[in-house]
């Protein structure tokens, strides 16, 4: 059977069932629009939530000093565990799965500039902080570097929102700001970024200075945190366990005592979030599929009518030796063609809506998450898979009915 013959018969059937074909095409298109948009918005929401988490910590583990809650070798519970700078080297040297471990200090401070005053949380950090916390800098500025650390320079990297509060603009590079009564030169500012997790406020309202400068001014003996990045994401849980083992050996506490060394594991948070949003996307896909099932019933009804109207023709084909497979293939081909025709229209409309949404600014609040739908390969694959399944199911039952026609009875059919 040639494709041209199949197409000719298909268009003859469509002409005889114009209204049914039109309504069914609209139904299939609407179903694909629903599936594609629901899953695209779900994918976009998942991506934005993941990016918001990674903007607070790019697959890192933040380690804090805590208090023991388990007895260890005769030592009492309730002992305070204070982390020190040298603990970072201990972690790097004793845990091969760790790429880098850097110390962090922080406190609330007051800033003054141009007659304006602001209060924010300031951190003393190493240059690696830029990549571990995705501290992007605006054009014309820079982040803290090794020279700043070595020479204990009084330089500050500032969040753009904080800069606007003090200077009226987000990029006052080279300006001087008073921090707790001491002048600091602004070397860089950070543009606004999406964050779904934070402590002590968002990064775009934060002040960041070299770790050594912070220590020389405030004299903090113990760390507020260590930031640890594993070599591989897969080793996140192992690294967390190994950190407690190494610190437990040094500070004499049970390696299973989570309160002795509390941690914020961004890798684990990302994985848990991924599972949640996969579930949401499956739910949204099922809702969209319900609409497609209704459209599939429309396709099936058309094919049943076609089978009824072509009973005599099918009988003639069977009488001259046409096989059942020939008849079945013909009906399934027409069903798939009708389904994919409507699906293509729906897919193009959905693509246009997605592009239209992207043409508007992301905005803030809920629109920062919902205003960026993503047409990923998984969304396309699900749409094509559903179309194929609906087309096959809608065509196979009418096809079997047509193929089982008794040639003798069919030739007498009026």
Give the tens place of pLDDT for each residue, 359-395.
887 767 667 777 788 888 877 888 788 778 877 777 7
pLDDT at 410: 47
Give the tens place of pLDDT for each residue, 268-279.
988 888 888 888
Q: Which residue spans within 191-314 are E strands per DSSP?
A: 207-210, 225-230, 263-265
Residue 99, pLDDT above cutoff 50: yes
Closest of 44, 50, 53, 49 to residue 284, by C-alpha: 44
Burial of 89: CB neighbours in 10 Å, binned 0-12, 13-18, 19+? exposed
Q: Which tokens sit at 172?
A: 């006052």
- Going from the C-alpha of 318 to that of each of 199, 301, 314, 404, the distances in angstroms are 76, 23, 6, 10
* pTM as predicted: 0.76
Going from N- to C-terminal start, the domains of the chain cover 3-54+270-411, 65-97+234-261, 98-230
187: which residues sit within 8 A by CB, 6+ positions away? 141, 142, 143, 144, 148, 155, 156, 157, 173
Average pLDDT of the chain, as a whole number? 84
pLDDT at 138: 79
Element (DSSP H or E) covering residue 108: strand 98-113
CA distance 264 to 291: 42
Residue 111 is given by DSSP the state E
Residue 162, pLDDT above cutoff 50: yes
Q: What is the mean pLDDT of residues 326-351?
A: 80
CA distance 2 to 6: 6
CA distance 193 to 362: 12
- Torsion angles phi and psi, residue 101, rounded to 5: -135, 125
CA distance 118 to 180: 11
270 alpha carbon, distance to own chain's centre: 9
339: which residues sit within 8 A by CB, 6+ positions away? 28, 295, 296, 299, 387, 388, 390, 391, 394
Residue 136 is given by DSSP the state -
Query: Where does the pLDDT of residue 125 fall: very low under 50, low under 70, confident under 90, or very high at 90 and above?
Result: very high
pLDDT at 413: 46
Higher pLDDT, 348 or 342: 348
Q: What is the mean pLDDT of residues 322-333?
A: 68
SS (H, E, C) 380-411: HHHHHHHHHHHHHHHHHHHHHHHHCCCHHHHH
Give the tens place of pLDDT for each residue, 180-226.
999 999 999 998 888 888 888 888 899 999 999 999 999 999 999 99
Residue 408, pLDDT above cutoff 60: no
Q: What is the mean pLDDT of residues 323-336?
A: 70
Q: Per mean pLDDT, which of 50-54, 162-166, 277-281, 328-332 is the most reliable?
A: 162-166
Q: What is the mean pLDDT of residues 323-350?
A: 78
Please report, rounded to a whole number, the percentage of residues in the chain having pLDDT higher than 70.
Answer: 82
Cβ–Cβ < 8 Å for 47, 374? yes
CA distance 391 to 336: 5
pLDDT at 387: 78
Closest of 245, 261, 264, 200 to residue 65, by C-alpha: 261
Q: What is the mean pLDDT of residues 159-185?
A: 93
pLDDT at 320: 57
CA distance 120 to 137: 19
Give the tens place of pLDDT for each residue, 293-305.
777 777 667 666 6
CA distance 369 to 373: 9
Residue 123, pLDDT above cutoff 90: yes
Q: Which tokens sit at 117?
A: 């005053």
Element (DSSP H or E) covering residue 291: helix 266-309
What is the residue whose two structure tokens read 């999406």?
194
Query: Which residues on adjacent β-strands are paired with residue 122?
Result: 107, 207
42: which residues sit within 8 A by CB, 6+ positions away? 277, 280, 281, 284, 285
Give the tens place of pLDDT for each residue, 1-51.
556 665 666 566 556 566 666 777 787 888 888 888 888 888 888 888 888
Of 77-81, 251-255, 294-298, 352-356, the one with minimum mean pLDDT is 294-298
Q: What is the mean pLDDT of residues 104-109?
A: 95
């Amino acid at each position: 059977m040639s494709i041209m013959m199949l197409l000719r018969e298909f268009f003859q059937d469509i002409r005889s069932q114009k209204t049914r074909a039109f309504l069914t095409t609209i139904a299939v298109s609407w179903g694909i629009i629903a599936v594609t948009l629901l899953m695209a918005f779900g994918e976009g929401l998942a991506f934005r939530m993941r990016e918001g988490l990674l903007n607070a910590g790019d697959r890192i583990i933040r380690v804090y000093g805590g208090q023991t809650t388990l007895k260890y070798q005769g030592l009492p519970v309730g002992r305070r565990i204070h982390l020190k700078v040298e603990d970072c080297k201990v972690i790097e040297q004793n845990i091969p799965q760790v790429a880098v471990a850097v110390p962090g200090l922080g406190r609330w401070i007051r800033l003054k500039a141009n007659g304006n005053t602001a209060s924010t949380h300031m951190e003393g950090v190493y240059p690696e902080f830029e990549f571990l916390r995705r501290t992007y800098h605006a054009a014309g500025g820079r982040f803290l570097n090794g020279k700043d650390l070595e020479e204990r320079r009084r330089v500050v990297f500032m969040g753009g929102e904080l800069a606007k509060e003090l200077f009226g603009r987000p990029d006052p590079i080279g300006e001087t700001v008073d921090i707790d009564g001491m002048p600091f030169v602004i070397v860089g500012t950070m543009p606004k970024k999406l964050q779904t997790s934070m402590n002590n406020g968002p990064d775009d309202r934060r002040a960041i200075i070299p770790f050594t400068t912070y220590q020389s001014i405030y004299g903090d003996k113990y760390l507020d945190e260590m930031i640890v990045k594993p070599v591989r994401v897969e080793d996140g849980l192992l690294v967390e366990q190994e950190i407690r083992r190494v610190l437990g050996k040094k500070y004499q506490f049970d390696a299973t005592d989570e309160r002795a060394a509390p941690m914020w594991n961004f890798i684990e948070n990302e994985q848990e979030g991924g599972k949640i949003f996969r579930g949401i996307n499956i739910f949204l896909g099922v809702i969209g599929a319900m609409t497609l099932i209704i459209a599939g019933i429309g396709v099936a009804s058309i094919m049943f009518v076609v089978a009824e109207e072509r009973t005599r023709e099918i009988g003639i084909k069977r009488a001259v030796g046409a096989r059942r497979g020939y008849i079945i293939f013909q009906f399934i081909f027409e069903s798939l063609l009708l389904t994919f025709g409507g699906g293509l229209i729906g897919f193009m409309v959905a693509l246009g809506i997605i592009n239209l949404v992207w043409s508007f600014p992301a905005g803030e609040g809920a629109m920062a998450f919902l205003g960026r739908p993503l047409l990923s390969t998984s969304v396309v694959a699900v749409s094509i898979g559903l179309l194929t399944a609906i087309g096959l199911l809608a065509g196979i039952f009418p096809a079997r009915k047509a193929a089982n026609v008794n040639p003798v009875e069919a030739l007498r059919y009026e």
